[in-house]
Each structure stands twice: as structure tokens, then as C-alpha cells.
Amino acid sequence: MAADSDPESDVFEITDFTTASEWERFVSKVEEVLNDWKLIGSSVHKPLEKGEYNSGTWEEKTEEISFADYKFTVTHHYLKKESPDGEEKEEPEEDAFPAAMQDLLCMNNDFPPRAHCLVRWYGVREFVIISPGANNDAIISESKCNLLLSSVSIALGNTGSQVPLFVQIQQKWRRMYAGECQGPGVRTDFEMVHLRKVPNQYNHLSGLLDIFKSKIGCPLTPIPPINIAIRFTYILQDWQQYSWPQQPPDFDALLGGEVGGVEFGKLPFGACEDPISELHLATTWPHLTEGIIVDNDVYSDLDPVQAPHWSVRVRKADNPQCLLGDFLSEFFKLCCRKESSEEILGRSPLEEEGKENVDISQALSKLTEPTTVQIHKLSVSSMVHSARKRMRRHRRVEESPLSNEVLNSILLYLFPDATEKPSNGSEAKPGTSNANSPPEKEPENYNLYNQFKSSPADSLTYKLSLCLCMVNFYHGGVKGVVQLWQEFVLEMRYRWENNHLVPGLASGPPDLRCCLLHQKLQMLNCCIERKKARDSGKRPSPSDSSAGSAGERKVSGSDNGKAAQNSSGTEDRRERGEANQGKSWESWSDSEEEFFECLSDTEELKENAQDDEKKEGPPKENKDAPRLKAEGRLHPHGKLTLLHYIQEPLYIPVTQEPAPMTEDLLEEQSEVLAKLGTSAEGAHLRARMQSACLLSDMESFKAANPGCCLEDFVRWYSPRDYVEEEVLDEKGNTITKGELSARMKIPGNMWAEAWETAKPAPARRQRRLFDDTREAEKVLHYLAVQKPADLTRHLLPCIIHAAILKEKEEESTEDIASVRKVISQIISNASKILRYPNPDYKKLEEIINQIMAVETIIARARSLKAKFGISKCENIDEREDLERFVNSLLEEPEVSVVGAGRGPAGSIIHDLFVTAQRAALMTLMDEESVKSGSQEERRQNQGAVSDFPPPAGREIILRTVVPRPAPYSKPLPQRMFCVLMKEDFRLAGAFSSDTSFF
């Protein structure tokens, strides 16, 4: 009883002998994967159509499983089904073969050009592979292979799956597979043999038929007919008949200085080597039987010329060297350089400091001495001489990467106006040249710069990018780039100091659609234009000068007895102002200091008017009150008159043009305005900063229309803010009455405050809104401090733009649809990337790689067209057929030859092989000339040469349907795929057997 009451006596240990082993768990995992992928049971598949393996889409799924600690990868390969699911879920027949067994006999997709090796060997449309993991050893031992095959067989039997299941064995490079497919009462075993050398007895069709017959072991006599499909592949590597059509650039001419504008304006294009390395000809006999053809160790009926079907594929050279791609790649590498220009050229700081001290002693004398601006005639020699003279102060001539001849040619190309003789000391405006007018035929190509944010294809920035790219590749690399850029900056300063407009730039303010460097150059041109206009106003004719000075003195005089002279002098100056209405306001301004005294002048005018008023007595009416003299009038404004002086017409004044701005200046301005905050004081200051142009226009309007009011200004400046309506007066007449809009009547309105602040002052006497001197120096400083990497980033959009234009030009001569599609994609991608200030380098590199790929495709097209002699073909129909054939070779993995060896393309291919064979024989005969006999024997050997070399690969498919393993078993499909190559012999067999009646 004590033992029974012990609580430990109720606990007993149970040993479970049904615990699953590692092998059972592995089988369970395989079944689980098949269930997850819904590969269980049977399904109905439509018969395969011809070429479906090539045109269809292949997909795959992957899952990871493990056998103990050994990992496997399960992959499901299948041809994507296009028909609706409802049609494929029909009930299959009770004794129907699995789809894989039906595919074994299908002859519509023999030898697919691009598919998995198991698809080519067995013709199946769906299968599963179990292969060792990436870091696991190969399955080599026979016991492990049998264990895996047993696992496969059990998993297929438990799930009822009819999909072939393969196991990869041996080393991966051997591509050895063993597998099984099960159906209702049938089973197919997939077996494989792989050898290094082809056994002599199996080096022909007869020996392979013997293997196949012995393997199927058919008990019937006679044996059912065996269907045979044969393909021989011949490789052409020697292109003796046609030379590579790409002409390399003339390096001697480039280095010798013979590089005019035409040469520097063109990017090179094409491959430096033949991008087509081999041509593979596949001759196929798709439907043969054993009794029709003879192929043994003595004789063969398989003549490639007589093959009913020919197909061709080309093997492309791996990464052929292409000129445009090399140009882009080398230029793009400069983006990663961090050195400055001084570090690259290796200047001596002490030498610079010493030379600067020499010039500083005469700095004050140069400031005090009067100097006249002389406009010299432009010429290449003068420009280069002045630039080289400045360059010698910083660097010795012998250290320059660029020679004088090359540098002169580049400057002549960039600045073609240097050879022109300007008339009257001024050159043609940059926007009036023929080069700046967009081409009429291709406006889309011309406007690509809008999408890329580069520059127009005929602009100075565009040409500069081409020159820098060529200098980087041909003339000294980054050192040459730095030297050319410094010469360019010196030329910009030379033109600014001497009032010479920069050519190749559209007139007007900076175009924000272009790159920042292009905007800077346009800003410099705007500064030069303002400076030219101001300098021209400083040198009037002697008569105008004396009259003008007299007029100024009379205005400022206070003697009452000279009132008449005061009036005439002021009128004389006003008339000169009217005569120069067409000039911009800058032509009357000299410097900022002039405009500091304009308020006192206005007050003096008011005082004179008041003195005259006192003399003449009080006016009779308000309308006759004396007013300031009108200044700075441009022309009357239609029918409008002043509201307070109805008889006086409203004049449009000469106003200052708004200051042009580049995108970086606009960004800085927006940041400054944003930092002012949202307070009342910040908002008021922001409004004043933004109303500088408005205040200037109000002052000009007051000067041109004495006695005007704010309503007059609004009617001209913003007509929508002056509301007019018809009302009835006291007499019942309809009159028009106007007033300011509601927003103009708001207390503290910016317009009203600016109007009260504005003083009557013509534009020529106002302080400049745009300081061209300061802005020009800022631009020149910005250009001078650019590092090679910064310069490359600025000009890279222009180079990509030029490269795409070059490819579109080259493609138009070849007419390749796929290339046009790729170019459109490149333009779309580049426009998304280049619109941002700092694009991603990796994305830019991808665009450059795409451009290089397009260049390679065009080079391949030219190579093939040269080899097939399309340009020499006189028959139009044959020429079109050959062009389509060549384009198909570029886009498709394998192309059928219409007419086989008897068609136009087949005849050319035949001639190519014949020529290569003869060339190879002649080389062999030359090498063995000493060993060979008489010349007659050599002629006999030459006549006996075959048109084609020995086939590089032979593929044979043997099919039949026989009962197996017993005579009373079901007739089942049997298939064996044979590959015979120089160092590879493979037999891939699929042998079906009846599991019900055996």
C-alpha cells in the first residue's frame, strides 16, 4: 500500500518509436512545397504550338528546404499560361498521359534557341528541380543520389503530382540531372550520361540508334518506326571576305592641329573592333526516319547545303571598345576628381606672390590716371596672344598640355566671330547668327535641351563641352581640360573688358531651362550689353555735349533774369532725350554715384517752379498750376489722358529693365526672403525688397507725366485694378466713372506707400536696378574657381545631349526599330535625372551604359550589313529581305533563313563559309609547303576542300512509342536527346514504363 500511495509511482516513461526521421521530414517538406505551389493532381494542357517555347514567357519560383543540416533549393520552372483558368480546369481523361509525357513526343519546339537545358533535352513545359544550396557540396556518391531519387518518388506518389521532378547531381558545371514523372499507371525515368570524349562507335547516327533500341528493349518485332530530328551547327569565325567597316579617327590630323570647327564639333562614333565575333549556322532535318537517312562511320547523307531548314545566330563580342562610349566614360570620370586647377597644373605659390608684388606698386597710379576704353578688332592671333601672355605669368609654356596649334583651332571653333571684321567698332549680336536659329526639320532634337537642362545644340556651352571632352580624351587628359578652361575664362574676361559680346548665346536674360553654366554666360552677355550701352552714352557728339552741359547749368541756376534761357535749355535736353528714346536707360548712366544727387536736382526744379509762380502771381485755375518739366517719355499711351489734366495725354515712360537673374541667384533671393520670417516687420521688409522695380517704374512715370496721380499709374501698369462703370450725372447724361479696385484701397497698401515714397526721376537718373559691373565680376569669379569636377558636372548634360543626338543621327541611316525604342527610354530616364541640380552618379552611369549599349547595337548592325553586302545588292526586294534579316539577327536569339541554302541570305552565308574554308586551306598549304609534294597535288587538295568546316556541334533527337516493359504494356513515349561536340558527349534519355501491366 505504501508503494501505491507513492506519487512517483504514477509517472512512467513512454518511448515513441514513431518519431519521424530526418529523411521522412525531408520528404514531408518536398510534399509541402508541391502542395503550396498547387502542383498536385492532374491538369489539362493544350497542345504546344510551333515556336511557343521561344515566344512564350518562362517564369520560376524558388523555395529553400533542408535535409538535416544540408540545404537544398527547390525551383519550379514553367511556361506561363495565357488562356483563362476556367478553360484549364476541365476534367482530364481517366487514363490520360501526364503533360510531360505528351511533350516528349511534341515536334513543334525542337531545339529552342533560348530555354533551360532540360527544356531543350526533354521538351517539357513544366518541371521542378531540387539542387544543392549555394554553399553546399555537390551530390556525387551513388547512395546519396539514390536516396534523393527515392524521396522524389515517394513525394510524387503521395501528392499525386504529374510534374517532372529532377535532382541535380554531380558537379554543377556538368549539368547532370536525374528525375522522375508519375502518372496513372505510368512512370517516366529521366536518365543522363555525360562524357568528355565521344566514343568512336557512337560518333554517328547508327551507333546512337543502337543505344536507343537497346535501352527501350522493345519486345515487338518489327520495332515501331523511330522518328529522328537532327541539327548540325557550323561556326564561322574568319571574316576574310569583308573588312571591318569602321574607320578609326585620324589621330595624326588631330595631333597635328588640323582640327577645324567641323572636326571639333563632332563626337566620334563606332566600334574600334568588329562587334560580331562569330556566326553560327544551324542546319536542321526536322522529320526523318531510320530508313530514309544513312549516317555511319563510312558515309553520311547529311549535307548541310541540302538541309531543309537553316537558322542563324550571331555571337557578339563581349564589351567591344566603342569611341563614343570611351569618350563619355573618360569624361564622366572627371566628376570624381577632387583636385583644384592649381593642384593639377602644379603652380608655385611663391612665384605667383612675387609677380603680384611687382604689379601692386602701380595699382594707385592706374586708379588715378584717366584711361579711355579702346575697342580693338578681334582676331584669332590677338586673342590667343593676349591669353597666352596672361597664361605665361602663371605657368611656363613648355608645361602646357595643349600645343598652340590645337589651342588656336579650338578658339577659332568656339569664337568664330574672331575672324570677322566688325563694323563701327562693334560685332554682330550673338542671337542674330544663323547658327542660333533652330533647325526646321528636327525641332524635337533641337529642343532636347529643355528636357535635359543642357543647352541648345549650336550654343557656345554645347561646343565647349564637346571640345573639353575631346581634349580630355586626345590632348593631355585632365591637364588639357584645365588649360583649355583657363583660356576660356581669360577669353571671357577679355570680352568683358573690351565690350565684345560672347557669340553662340541667345540674346535676352538667362534661360532657366538651360544648365547653370550656360545661364552664367548669358548673364555675362547681359552685362556686356549694358556696359556697351552705358559706354556709348558717355561719348556723345561735341554739339550734343556742349548743349547738354549748358542745359544742366541753366536748370541749376537761380537768376530770375535767365528764366527764358532755363526754359530753352531744359527743352533742348528734353528734345535730345526724345531723340534717344530707342536707347535703353543704361546709355544715360555712368555709375552708381551719378544717381545719389537726383533727389536734389528734383528739389531744385521744384524751387525754380515755385519762384516762377511767385513772379507770375497766383494761378487762375488749378489746371494752370505750373508743373515739372516732363522727362523720360517713350510714347503716348493711346487715347488715355491724365485724370487731373484731361488735355494732357498719358505718356509711357522709359523704364529700367528688370535685373536678369540665374537660378542660383533666384534661389539665394528666395532663401533671404524666407529668412525674414512671418512677423509684420519681416513682411514689410520683404514687400519693400520685392517692390524695388515697382518703385523705379513709379518714379519714371511721375517724371514722364507731371501732375499724375496713382490712378493714372494703375491704369497703365495694372489696368485690371482700375474699375470703370457708367453712371448718370446730374443732367441725366451717361458718363464713365472709375476708381481703384478693392485691394488698392486697403490701408497700408504697398502700392500706395510706394507712390508716396516715389520722387519724379527719369530712368536715366535713377540708381541702377542691375549693377552690370558687379554681376560680371561675380560671373567671372564663379568661372575662375570652378574645379574640373564641378565643370564636368555642369557640362555632363550637354555631353549626354550631344551623344543622344549623335546616336539618333547614326540610327536614322540604319533604321533599327529596337534602337529607336531604347533611345526614347534613355531620353525619358535622362530627363528625370538631369533636371535636378545634383543627380545621382550611379543613375548617370546607368544612362551612359545605355548609350554605350545603343552604340554597340548600331555598330553590330553596320558590321552585319557589310558582311551580307546589303549596299551592293541591286535587287530592291532582296535588299529589303536582307535588311529585315539583319535587323532580326540583332533583336532575336535565332533567325530562320528563308529558302535555307537556296535563298538570298543562305547564298551569302554559303559564300562566307566557302571563302573562310579556302582561306584556311591556303594558310595550311603555306605552312606545309615544304612537306607537300608537287603543285598538282596541292591543286587536288584545294579542289577537294569542303564548303563547310566540320560541325562544331551535332544534336540528334530520337523518339518512338513502344510498349514497355512487356509486350502487353501500354504503348508509351520514349525519347533520347544526343549532343556530340568536340569535348562533350551527352545522352539525355526519358524512358517510360507501364506500372500496372508489367
Average pLDDT over every residue of 467-486? 87
Tell me the C-alpha distance between 608 and 556, whole Å: 9
Cell 586551306, residue located = 921
Residue spans of alpha helices (H) in 840-903: 841-867, 876-891
Q: Rounded mean pLDDT of 547-576?
A: 32
Pairwise CA distance, residues 164 & 885, whole Å? 38
- Alpha-carbon distances, residue 722 vs 47, 475, 716, 743 (angstroms): 81, 65, 9, 10
Q: Beta-carbon neighbour count of residue 594 at 10 Å?
A: 15
Radius of gyration of the chain (CA): 45
Q: Which amino acid is at 648?
A: E
Grid look-up 531543350 returns 120
Tell me which H or E stretch contains 532.
helix 516-537
Q: What 8-state DSSP symbol labels residue 69?
A: T
Residues 835-860: pLDDT tens digits?
877 788 888 899 999 999 999 999 98
The pLDDT value given to residue 922: 76
Task: Give the lowest-confidence range in 220-234, 719-733, 983-997.
Answer: 719-733
* pLDDT surpassing 90 at residue 127: yes
* Beta carbons of 128 and 99 less than 8 angstroms apart: no
Q: How many CB atoms lie within 10 A of CB 184?
A: 16
Question: Are 9 and 129 within 8 A, CB to CB?
Answer: no
Torsion angle, alpha carbons of 661, 665, 667, 670, to 10: -80
pLDDT of residue 34: 93
Instruction: Using pLDDT thresholds of 50, 70 and 90, give the confidence band for residue 405.
Output: confident
Three-state DSSP class for residue 838: coil
> Picking from 58-72, 603-617, 968-982, which range would have the lowest pLDDT averaged per residue?
603-617
In 496-646, DSSP assigns E strands to: 633-641
**CB-based contacts of 304, cutoff 8 Å, min separation 6:** 232, 234, 281, 283, 901, 947, 948, 951
CA–CA distance, 522 with 528 (Å, rounded to integer): 10
The angle subtended at Cα 648 by Cα 643 and Cα 650, nearest 5°, is: 70
Res 439: pLDDT: 40
In this predicted model, what pLDDT tens digit does every residue of 297-313 receive, in sequence order? Answer: 888 889 999 999 999 99
Quickly list DSSP for 617-658.
Answer: -S-SSGGGS--PPP-SEEEEEEEEE-SS-TTSEEEEEP-PPP
What backbone torsions phi and psi does residue 223 show, to the nearest 5 degrees?
-70, 135
List for the chain the helix, strand, coil content (%; round to 5). Answer: 50, 15, 35
How confident is residue 773, by pLDDT bands cut at 50, 70 and 90? confident
Amino acid at 941: N
Question: For residue 224, with 0-12 CB atoms within 10 Å meaning exposed, 13-18 middle and 19 or more buried, which class applies?
Answer: middle
Report the sign of the C-alpha dihedral through residues 513, 517, 523, 525, in that order: negative
**For residue 957, what are the contacts with CB-CB under 8 A and spacing of at least 6?**
110, 228, 229, 230, 975, 976, 977, 978
Closest CA to 716 of 700, 736, 701, 706: 701
Residue that wins the pLDDT comparison between 919 and 806? 806
Is residue 543 pLDDT above 60, yes or no? no
How large a percentage of the chain has pLDDT more than 90?
A: 26
**pLDDT of residue 651 exceeding 50:** yes
Contact criterion met (CB below 8 Å) for 989 and 180: no
Burial of 415 (0-12, 13-18, 19+ CB in 10 A): buried
What is the pLDDT, as a whole number, of residue 957?
95
Report which residue type is found at 307.
A
Whether residue 265 has pLDDT greater than 80: no
User: Would you state the pLDDT for residue 381?
Assistant: 44
Query: Going by C-beta distance under 8 Å and a sequence separation of 6 or more, which residues neighbour residue 46?
Result: 83
To the nearest 10°, report the CA torsion of 97, 99, 101, 102: 90
Residue 788 cell numbers, joined: 574640373
Do the beta carbons of residue 453 and residue 514 sit within 8 Å?
A: yes
Whole-angstrom Cα distance, residue 119 to residue 856?
31
Please choose, from the candidates 712, 554, 687, the residue with its C-alpha nearest in 3D space to the C-alpha of residue 636. 712
Distance from the first to the final alpha carbon of the chain: 67
Residue 11's Cβ-count burial label (10 Å; 0-12, 13-18, 19+) is exposed
**pLDDT for 53 beyond 80:** yes
Is the torsion defined by CA of 299, 304, 306, 307 positive or negative? positive
534717344: which residue's cell? Answer: 580
* Helix segments in 37-95, DSSP class H: 52-55, 85-88
Cβ atoms of 826 and 313 within 8 Å: the answer is: no
Helix (H, G, I), strand (E, B) or coil at 896: strand
Over residues 812-840, the pLDDT tens digits come to: 888 888 888 999 999 999 888 888 777 88
Res 274: pLDDT: 85
**Please, what is the Cα angle at 7 between 6 and 9, to 5 degrees?**
70
CA pair distance 888, 882, nearest whole angstrom: 10
Q: d(Cα 704, Cα 229) in Å, to the nearest integer?
A: 98
Give the three-state DSSP class for 353.
helix
Mean pLDDT of the chain: 77
Do 972 and 996 touch, CB atoms closer than 8 A? Answer: no
Can you tell me the distance from the alpha carbon of 413 to that of 488, in angstroms, rounded to the nearest whole number?
12
**697 HSE (CA, 13 A, CB side):** 15
pLDDT(614) > 50: no
pLDDT band at residue 581 under the 50/70/90 scheme? very low
pLDDT over 90 at 884, yes or no: no
Phi-psi label, residue 932: left if phi above 0, alpha if psi -120 to 50, beta otherwise: beta
